[in-house]
Amino acid sequence: MIPRSQLEDRGIRDPRVLAAVRAVPRHSFVAPDLSPFAYEDRPLPIGFDVTISQPYIVAAMTELLHPQAWQRVLEIGTGSGYQAAVLSKLCREVYSVERVPELATQSAELLGRLGYRNVRVRTGDGFEGWPEESPFDGIVLTAAPVELPDTLVAQLARGGRLIAPVGEADRQELVLVEKNAAGSVTQKVVFPVSFVPMLPDGN
């Protein structure tokens, strides 16, 4: 169980998000030898030079997204599948793109085995998104591009939100992008973060 000190005491307030994060068995998304550390508030390696994010960051990004039960959400960077599992409890459909074929296969199989039926995973270039299924009501990036890709902003529906870590490795910030009903886009910085870099397919 993830303690209050990691979530509520650090400002996570949405009861739906708190319930979803606590309902997902994080230990199932890490290697067996790391399962004793699964509920600590830190990222853990999952291979291929990527990590599973700490519970607080997953909860904070999810809360900023304001996911609703009727929404369709795009995730860039499936990784272990943990963030997708949390989103699946809050949204109608989750589309997740992973550039590492092995991780895409592993996470798709794990999500299916655990019963997360409303998540679709495919191997691809995150910078391209999933254009044929766009627009999306929400988009979340789990790796940091140096600059926010225009292709992903274009796939955000009017009234939608996009959450992304953005910046160089030594200076990243979590950015909230909102697109209003008229299609105008605004951005604001939320807080400093540290994520693995977002790489194009094949790198």
The pLDDT of residue 170:
85
pLDDT tens-digit profile, the chain (203 residues)? 898 999 999 999 999 999 999 999 999 999 999 999 999 999 999 999 899 999 999 999 999 999 999 999 999 999 999 999 999 999 999 999 999 999 999 999 999 999 999 999 999 999 999 999 999 999 999 999 999 999 999 999 999 999 999 999 889 999 999 999 999 999 999 999 999 999 886 55
Looking at 5, 28, 53, 96, which residue is catalytic? 53
53 is catalytic: yes
The pLDDT of residue 203:
53
Q: How far apart are CA 3 and CA 39, in angstroms?
A: 9
Q: How far apart are CA 129 and CA 95, in angstroms?
A: 9
How many other β-carbons are positioned within 10 Å of the β-carbon of residue 62?
27
Cβ 197 vs Cβ 167: under 8 Å = no
The domains of the chain, with CATH numbers, are 4-193 (3.40.50.150)
How many other β-carbons are positioned within 10 Å of the β-carbon of residue 124?
17
The pLDDT of residue 202:
53
Q: How far apart are CA 159 and CA 26, in angstroms?
A: 31
Bond from prior residue into 135 cis (ω within 30 degrees of 0):
yes
The closest of 176, 29, 188, 1 to 114, measured between CA atoms, is 29
List 171's β-bridge partners, or say none: 168
